[in-house]
Structure 1
Amino acid sequence: MVLRLSQKLNARIKGGTLSAAPPHENSLLDWSAQAFAVGRAEYVLLSNTRTLYSVVLAGMGLRDTARLPERALGVIRATLEGTGHGANDRHHPTPAVESVRLAKALDRSVTGSMNELIVHATALLVDGGVSLAEVGVRLNDVLLSALAVGSNKYGRPRDAFAERVAAAGSDEQTGTP
């Protein structure tokens, strides 16, 4: 799995110099992460790099490179299991923590879309009364121009991720890598 860190998050966890990494051959295992704060609370937005399917992680206690992959995988697993992409799904991104490779952010399109999602997450968290899991659910319904398909000018991360999971399943059935 590739976990792409923003400069701010990399500095916070003292990740050192990160190299660029090509997109993971399985797009379901390529995630990007950005840190953000709401008031005094710290959070990390984790988004699938290709589909922008997102989850939010409480950032408290994330100060080194050992904890981030472990916590990121945990929240991604829990969210996917809660939305029907469970551990029995062979395309479920549940590699061992040791197999997580940290890399620098992929491109400005992903970073810009994640910044937009952070604005939405901040608004939801400021209002209060919304769990982090619910914030993720709502973020995955945000219309984003980066996910435009065909004549539609916008797409939803939830739909884009479901299409990738379905495509991964059909590729496996047809023998396509």
Structure 2
Amino acid sequence: MIFRLSHKISTKIKAGKLKELPLEENLIVDWSAHLFVVDHTQYIILSNTASMYSCVMYGDDINHNSQFSQRAFSTMREFMEEDGLLSTCEEFIIPSSGTVSFAKALNRKVTGSMNELLLSAIATKEDRGYGRPKVAFRKLVDQKRND
């Protein structure tokens, strides 16, 4: 599992010097994370790097990388269960929880989409500039299962 962290999160959770890593071969377990604040409360958005399928978790009380990982997996499980993707979480996400790597953000296109929540990183001409993360994530899962 790769978590690609913004500088703010990396500093907050004491992740140390982040390295650049190529996109994970199994796109389902490559996630990006960004810290944002609303009304003086910190939140962390977790987005699958390839599909921009996203979930949000409370971030004020997360101060260490192990806390981050634990909360991230719990949050992903909750969101996937709500979206009817629990089997995906159990098949791909949970088994990868034992091998977590922290890395720099992949590129500005992904980070920009997370910052603006406009989802331009997965947009197609048919989408008119806006992608559909649930659809894109389900396509990744279907492709992985058919490999």
Q: TM-score, normalised by structure 2?
A: 0.90
1:96 is displaced (CA, Å) by: 5.2
CA distance, structure 2, for counterparts of residue 159 and residue 44 of structure 1: 22
1:92 is displaced (CA, Å) by: 3.5
CA distance, structure 1, for counterparts of residue 38 and residue 92 of structure 2: 30
Q: Paired residue for 2:128, among 139, 153, 162?
A: 153
1:42 is displaced (CA, Å) by: 0.7
Question: What runs of 5+ residues in structure 1 fail to find an aligned partner?
Answer: 118-142, 172-177
Question: What runs of 5+ residues in structure 2 fail to find an aligned partner?
Answer: none
Instruction: Map Cα deviations across residues 103-153 of structure 1 (whole Å, 9 max, x no partner).
Output: 111100000000012xxxxxxxxxxxxxxxxxxxxxxxxx63321235443
Q: Paired residue for 1:168, among 140, 144, 147?
A: 144
CA distance, structure 1, for counterparts of residue 92 and residue 84 of structure 2: 10
- Aligned residues between the structures: 146
CA distance, structure 1, for counterparts of residue 140 and residue 91 of structure 2: 10
CA distance, structure 2, for counterparts of residue 115 and residue 67 of structure 1: 23
RMSD: 1.8
1:15 is displaced (CA, Å) by: 1.4
* Equivalent AA in structure 2 for residue 54 of structure 1: S
Q: 1:82 to 1:64 in 2, by over 3 A?
A: same
CA distance, structure 1, for counterparts of residue 145 and residue 98 of structure 2: 25
Q: Which has the higher contact order (CA 8 A, sep 6+)?
A: 2
Instruction: Map Cα deviations across residues 51-83 of structure 1 (whole Å, 9 max, x no partner).
Output: 000000000211111110111011101211221
CA distance, structure 2, for counterparts of residue 93 and residue 159 of structure 1: 18
Q: TM-score, normalised by structure 1?
A: 0.76
1:89 is displaced (CA, Å) by: 6.5
Q: Is the 8 A contact 1:13 1:62 kept in 2?
A: yes
CA distance, structure 2, for counterparts of residue 32 and residue 48 of structure 1: 6
Q: Is the 8 A contact 1:43 1:57 kept in 2?
A: yes
Tell me which stretches of 4 or more aligned residues in structure 1 moved more than 4 Å. Answer: 88-91
